[in-house]
């Protein structure tokens, strides 16, 4: 008696015509999107005089000199600027997680006067371009004598000015059963205890999504860091990379590409560590 054949794993099952075309198109589109990254990696391994002379991905000569030159090309070793970016990014992530979760809990669970009005105002700020408020913010921080410090980059996070993350957490908290809050109230828990012991442990996907996006946006933020940080001792990675380019003399393209590859490492690592929670967090944004 013949035994029934076991089904093939999903990865090895033959694709039908329509699905095959869709997969080919998606793979092709993905390769097009990744081409700039591949080109930058290839250029970082080429001698500087061959970067624009040989535009292909496969270098005719491979050298790691760009990495050693780029690491020590500026006033400080490049690790110094990585540390500055890490400090600014870590403070921004922590501030956003605390402030946005508190604001979201208030909008999702508490009752206060003009709640819907303030929620609408908060949503309206999402459509306000950052460039509209950056000049008034600069004047305010200048009056407070905070220019050339990291605080203009962190203080807005403390005040929960990222309305997108507040909205994200509000939508997530609204999906949590209110019976959990009521059961905690019966046990004598107040608002703070419910927030810390009940709501926050269940909001890990939304918190991880907020942390990942805040990390990526802060790490890559060039305009604000260029505006507020004028002392080379305070430069972060985006501003430090800009110093490799000089409009009046030769630009160090090879070292800049090499340091750009190194600067991408923390972003990829942080994203891969939290991608499981990221998908769950984004999926709940539009619910309820």
Profile the chain (288 residues) by mean pLDDT over runs of 10 residues.
52 62 88 88 85 80 86 89 94 94 92 90 87 89 91 91 91 88 86 89 88 92 90 90 74 86 89 74 53
Residue 28 lies in a domain: yes
Q: Who's near 115: CB < 8 A, 6+ residues apart?
A: 107
Q: Are residues 216 and 92 in the same domain?
A: yes
Distance CA 288, CA 285 (A): 9
The per-residue pLDDT for 281 is 58
Domain with 126 in it: 77-285
Domain boundary among 63, 90, 116: 63
**Of 81, 65, 35, 79, nearest in space to 258 by CA:** 65
Shared domain for 243 and 268, answered yes or no, is yes
144 and 231: one domain? yes
Write the CATH number for 231: 1.10.3720.10
Flag whether 99 is in a domain: yes
168: closest CA among 282, 288, 270? 282
Per DSSP, helices labelled H in the chain are: 17-44, 65-71, 78-109, 115-124, 130-143, 151-158, 163-174, 178-186, 191-194, 200-202, 204-220, 223-228, 237-242, 253-283
| Per-residue model confidence (pLDDT) at position 9 | 52
Measured between its terminal Cα atoms, the distance across the chain in Å is 54
Same domain, 143 and 181: yes
Distance CA 91, CA 236 (A): 14
pLDDT score for 50: 81
How confident is the model at residue 94, as a pLDDT?
95
Do 51 and 84 reside in the same domain of the chain?
no
* 1 in any annotated domain: no
d(CA 81, CA 150): 13
Based on the fold, state whether residues 124 and 214 are members of the same structural domain.
Answer: yes
Q: What is the separation of C-alpha 201 from the centre of its chain, rounded to a whole number of angstroms?
A: 22
Give the closest residue to 86 by CA, choosing from 267, 275, 242: 267
Instruction: Tell me, yes or no, whether 122 and 185 share the same domain.
Output: yes
Domains in the chain, number: 2
Same domain, 196 and 95: yes
Note whether 45 and 165 are same-domain residues. no
| Same domain assignment for residues 273 and 148 | yes
pLDDT at 288: 47
The verdict on 212 and 104 lying in the same domain is: yes
Site of tokens 């990221």: 278
Identify whether 85 is part of a domain.
yes
Q: Classify the phi-psi angles of 160: left when phi > 0, otherwise alpha if psi is within -120 to 50, otherwise beta.
A: left
Task: Give dist(CA 222, CA 121) in Å, integer.
Answer: 28
- Sort 152 into a burial class: Cβ within 10 Å, 0-12 / 13-18 / 19+: buried
> Is residue 12 in a domain?
no
For residues 237 and 262, membership in a common domain is answered with yes
How much is the CA Rg of the chain, to the nearest whole Å? 24
Measured from the Cβ of residue 84, the count of other Cβ atoms closer than 10 Å reads: 21
């Amino acid at each position: 008696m013949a035994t029934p054949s076991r089904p093939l794993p999903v990865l090895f099952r033959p694709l039908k015509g329509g699905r095959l075309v869709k997969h080919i198109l998606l793979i092709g589109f993905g390769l097009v999107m990744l081409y700039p990254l591949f080109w930058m990696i290839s250029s970082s391994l080429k001698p500087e005089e061959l970067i624009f002379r040989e535009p292909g991905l496969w270098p005719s000569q491979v050298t790691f000199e760009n990495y050693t030159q780029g690491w020590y090309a500026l006033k400080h070793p490049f690790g110094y600027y990585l540390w500055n970016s890490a400090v600014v990014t870590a403070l921004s992530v922590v501030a956003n997680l605390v402030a946005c979760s508190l604001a979201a809990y208030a909008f999702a669970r508490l009752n206060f006067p003009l709640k819907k009005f303030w929620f609408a105002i908060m949503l309206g700020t999402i459509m306000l371009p950052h460039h509209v408020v950056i000049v008034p913010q600069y004047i305010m921080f200048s009056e407070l004598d905070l220019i050339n410090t990291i605080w203009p980059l962190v203080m807005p996070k403390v005040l929960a000015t990222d309305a997108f993350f507040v909205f994200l957490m509000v939508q997530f908290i609204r999906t949590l059963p209110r019976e959990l809050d009521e059961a905690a109230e019966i046990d004598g828990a107040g608002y703070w205890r419910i927030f810390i012991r009940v709501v926050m442990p269940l909001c890990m996907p939304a918190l991880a999504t907020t942390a990942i996006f805040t990390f990526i946006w802060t790490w890559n933020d060039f305009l604000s860091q260029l505006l507020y940080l004028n002392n080379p001792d305070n430069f972060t990675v985006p501003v430090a990379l800009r110093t490799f380019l000089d409009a009046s003399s030769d630009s160090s393209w090879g070292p800049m590409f090499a340091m750009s590859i190194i600067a991408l490492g923390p972003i990829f690592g942080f994203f891969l560590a939290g991608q499981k929670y990221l998908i769950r967090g984004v999926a709940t944004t539009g619910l309820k």
